[in-house]
Structures are given as structure tokens and as C-alpha cells.
Structure 1
């Protein structure tokens, strides 16, 4: 049942899946500080397999003293490969050798994680001469280098002033002159003249020439006859042109439409089939497009604009110019406002950084999530069965245990309830869980703590340092406390963050009550939150 218990706690976040077998062993699970542990990784493969063992200076929190050569033992048509590493650690405590990746035939296989313990070396104080503790050393105040802070403030103020000055006196960029064409025919004929002046096809850019040529005629037809010519295929355009000619009673001959169709088809061959027409064919296509545009223009009934219509058009153009000027002035004012705000903000931040320090600015001006949690309104609630009473900065949310644990683990559990805030990949996490087993189980809290640590490994934690000790609630209920540090890697940015964790585990009435807190190691506010929560823990006595 101990094995079942560890299995359940290890699978709280993901299920265990099978991998090619790698046997993991260590010559000793207990040793002195600085002594060598020999870790052995063994795998059995065929003669054609390629196996690559990792080479690293550290496995978790353990230093690799030596990476021994791979021993190869032939057994019939297979090889048994044995790789040994010499590991050590110079700080006492309980450590976990993490799962180590071995690449077999291009696939990654992981070894098992192992728990080891390193104990202090006892010192004989009768033979070893002892010395008094040295006096407290005086540390110079960081404000001793006051001139550095003055320079920072001056630099920030200067930067803000420079931004303000540049934005205020920024001259609008000279915009390219926009040519306004009064009619579609004027625009089309002008663009045709400009296209010829580029001499694209004479320089070998036949595809570019035909693209611009057909765009000119398509754009003209779209503006003049009001049909979607730019996004239509050749056949769709010709069909649409014929329909528009009938509806609007345009005097277009079949020869005009057919000539346009020939040029468009030729252009399709040039653009998509890499066909290169002869020079005389290109000249002929250009004439066909020019004649088509002129013919379409002449076929449209002439509309004579009255003086009132011309006056209205002029007024519209003046109003358009006025609105454009207002937009430019508005953008300039906004730039001045933004520059002024940046100047004030940078100056204020610079002043507080120099006088109060960066931590003060971050906590009181920029904002700090865990500081807000610490200073906010806390909630004292009871969770699970048997109940766990705890004070938290936010109400913990119930999770569905059946979606977290696999079916084989749930089959062993009579009842399980999980409540969390945050997640294990966030900078701050709280978890409370209670569970009772169907069968009578002797619960080993030390093993239960080890199983909980494995949850961190499944979430990508490494360099896990583990220490355990007894923990008593205010009412004298005794449990086990596991605590230490680990490194958690952000899967998106790839950045590693050092985290501090504490786990409280209690055994009552054939069940387990557990509280987990995970936070950034350097977050002083999260540390205070954790202390306040764990000091408030009380358990409902199981009946």
C-alpha cells in the first residue's frame, strides 16, 4: 500500500507512460558530505542500436565528479550497456537524483529518479581547536555613492527632456506628392505613359510589365463601369464586362471585348506559365489595351456637369483638405502630450529610485502582485474532508480530481478533494488536498513527501533540494514538513527561475491532508504570505 500511496501522489499532475527500459541504481543511498555516490544507468539493446548517454557537470543539485567510460557486455545478439557517474554534494540534506535523459535510436528515454541522503561529518571538538566568532563587519551604506544616484536622476530627466523636445519640434516628413485625377480615363492614360517610360519589357522585366499593364486596364474598368475587375479572373471579367455593356447600353463591339480578352490571357501565360512574347506581340498588346480604354470611354454616355456640381466638388475637396490638416495638428498635439507625460514619469521614477531605491519603486509605484495579495483582505476557510482550516489571501478553487488522476489511481481512493490558487508554473502557487483510501493503509509521511516532490519533476522542475522535519500545528497535531528549493523553467521563454517550496503532510483516519506552497525564492512578500498561511493551519480531527 505504500507503493500505491507514492504512485497516487506522483500522478497528481500527469499520468506515467511507458518508455524503453533503463535500469537505474546507486551504490549507496546515504553518504557523508563530499563522498562519492556511484550512479549506474543500464540498458539492453540490439547490436544496431545507437545509444547516447548525457555528459553534464550537474545532475540536479548533485555535482558530477567523473563520467566513467561505458561498459559493454555482449549477450548473444544483444549488448548490455552500463554507464556510471561519480556524484557528490557538499551540503547535508535529502536530495533527488533527477530523471536523466538517454537517447536510444533518436528517441529520448528517461531513467528513474532516486532519493539520497547526505549527512554531516561529526567534528571532535576535543582535538579540533575552536575559534571565536568574528566581530560583525561594518557594511557601507549604499547611499555612500550618492553621486551615482544623482547622475541617474540627471540622465533620466535629460532623456525625458530630449524626448519632449524632439516630439515638440519634429517636422512632418515631406510626403510624396499625391496626384489627383479628375476622371478614370485621365488616370489610365497617364499611367500608361508612365509605364512606357519605365521600359520594363525592354530591360527583360516582361512579367512586371504585363502585371502593371493589366492592373491599369482592370482598375479603369472598375472605376468607370463599377464592376469588381481587380479581383476577378479573366473569364469573370470578360463576362462581367459583356453584362455591364448590355445593362448600361454601352456601345462596345465584340472586337473590343475580344482584344481585351486576348491581352488578359497573354498576361496570364506570362505571369503563371513563364511565357515570353515576341517584341512585336508586346507592342500589339499595349496598343490593344490603349484602344480598349479609349473605346470604353467613348461608349459611356457623356454627363455634363453643371456649375453647381462643380462648385460642390470644389467644396468637397476643400473640406477634405481641412480635415487632413486637423488630423495632422491632432497627431502633433498628442505627440507633445505623450512626450510630456514620459518626461514627468521618467523624472519621478528617477527621483524615487535615487532616494528610495528600486525595490520601493517596484513595490509602491509599478506594483507587485504578491504585495497586493499580502496587503489585501484574507479569507479563513475549511477545505476538504477531513477538513483543513487555513487562512489564504484568496479563496482556493476546487479542482476535479478525476481529471487529474488516472483511473488506476482513482480506483484506490475512496474520496479526494483538491483546491488550488495559481499553478505550479506560476511565480506563486497554493494547493490543499485531502484524500481517504478504500482499503486500510499504513501511511508513511516520509514516503508521501517524496511522492509529492515527484510532482514537481513531472512539471519540469530540476535541481531539487529536499529537507524534511516534523511539524506541529497550534493544537499539537503532528505531521511532516518537506521544504527546499528547485529550478522551474518557463516553457515559453525558456528562462529558469529559482523557487522555494514548503509541503505539510498529515495522516488521519486512513487518509492524507496536504498543503503545498510554491513561490519565487527572492520574493519577500510571497515568503510572508507562506509563513502566515502555514502558521494558520489547523486540522479537523477525523471521527
Structure 2
């Protein structure tokens, strides 16, 4: 009976040992010594039952300090023993840029929540030492100088565009600053008013003289001065010669050259009376003043230009300068600040490009 118990216990121990050895992890490296910058490959192999799943270690960019991982290959799976076992291989490509002897710790694989570790590895990294042969110095060239990239216009497009745009930007900046401090609007408003013909302007002035009744206040000189000035202005605008600077006789003679005598006879009588009042202190009667006013009106009506039907008054432009609003000042100030920032940024960009090129 004791013999059977011993055999059963031995069988169970062997079964547990086989079960514990059903997962094996092994790590190898293809080169134990490399030069700085060279590469080596670590091969991590896991042998397990085909129905089990293995989780390989994940590294970000370094295996240990000083040893960098530059590539991780996809796992390769091989089925063994009629598909009952599987051999999974994972390759890690490593390199180093510091000469030293590196200890590579065991790599851990998880299978069914149990951790299995490989053996530790070592990697020796040597610096580059080129022996100098005194008899053949031409074999040693030493480090080469930094090569400059060839000139390409594409690299200068941004610099050229910024340089060209600085000129109009600068002009616009100084223009806006000037306009900001002169307190004038950037766009001036223009008011369009109709221009009246000469006979209408003259009739408006005569109506003003008539409504004021200056002669009734004992000022006949002022009355005839205003009346003759209105007629002289009308003649200047209507016939095109400067009647304001001519004597009464000169005006009559000039009009006789271009008009008939009947239209000018009443005007001659008006000028004669006006000259007597202004220079001889003549005091005309009330009906005489009214008659001369009528003569002036008749002269204008007989000599005015005929107006075409449905004709529109000729417009004239009057520029009105208005004070700049607060909103316009704020927008103008914001535009100046943005433009100044653009100009400063362009100068900084140009300076950095030139510094990088000549440095």
C-alpha cells in the first residue's frame, strides 16, 4: 500500500514539473559587441501550448539607460508537435551612442497571469578609434566640416515677399498715424446741391432787395448799389464778361454789341439814375425807384436763357468735413496697432532668416 502511495505522489510531482515547464522564455542577442551607432538585435522566444496567449514586454524608446530601441518587429508564430505547441518570436533592434558595458535585465512575458522571465544579457559598446599610420597619413581624413545646403530660390520666397510688403505696409502705417492725429475722417462726405441759372440767382437777390425796402428808410444809395450789383453779377454770369469791374457806360457799350437796343434802353435808364444817386447825391422819387426795379426785372426776363423742358439743374459738389466719430477712432487705432505688429513681425522674421543663413 505504501508503494502505491509513493508512485502516485511521484507521478503528481512529475506532472506538476511538466506543467511548470510548459512555458519557456529565452532571449538571445546577435552581437555582444558593437561600435557607437551600430545596431544589434535581441530575439525573444516564447514556447507555450498553442491554446495559450502570451503578452510580450512593451518598451517606449529605451531598453535601459543608454540603450535605445529603434524598431520592434511583429511577432512571428510557428506551430509545433502537430499544432499542439507554439513558438512565438519577437525581435527588438537596439543601438547605443555611449561607449560602456550595459547590463540588459531579463525580459518578462505574461502567460495566463503568470510571469516568466528570460535570462539577462550584456552589451559592450565601443567608441570609434581609428589608428593612425605614420607611413600612410592619407588614410586618416578626420571629421569633415558641416556642409552647407545648395542655394535654392524656394528657401527665399518668404523672405522676399516680406521684404516687398514692408514698403506698402510702412507707407500705409505712416498715413494712418497722420490721419489719426489730424482728427479728420478717412472718407469725406460730399453733399451735392443743384446750381441755379444766372437769372434765378438774380431774381432771388432782387426779391431780397425788394423785401428790405431800403429806399423807404432814406438810403437810396445803398438801394441802388445793391440793385446794380445784382444786375452786374447777372450780366457777368449770363454774357461772360466781368461787368463788376466795368463802368455803366462800358457795360452798355458791350451789351450793344451782342443785344438789341430795345432790351438795353431800360437798363441804361437804371444805370443813369444809379450814377446820379451814388455820385451826385440825387434823391429819386418813390415811383422812380419802383420803375427802376421793374426795369431790372424786365431786363433779366428779356435776356435770360431759355430753359428746356424737363431740364435738370446742373449739380455742383460741396465738400463737407465732419469730425471723426469715436468708433472710427477706435477702429483706426486698432488698425494701426495690427499694422505695427505685422511690420515688427516681418522685421523679426527677416532678421532670423538672415542670421540662420550667415551664421
Output the TM-score relative to the length of structure 2. Answer: 0.34
Higher helix share: 2
Rg comparison, structure with higher value: 2
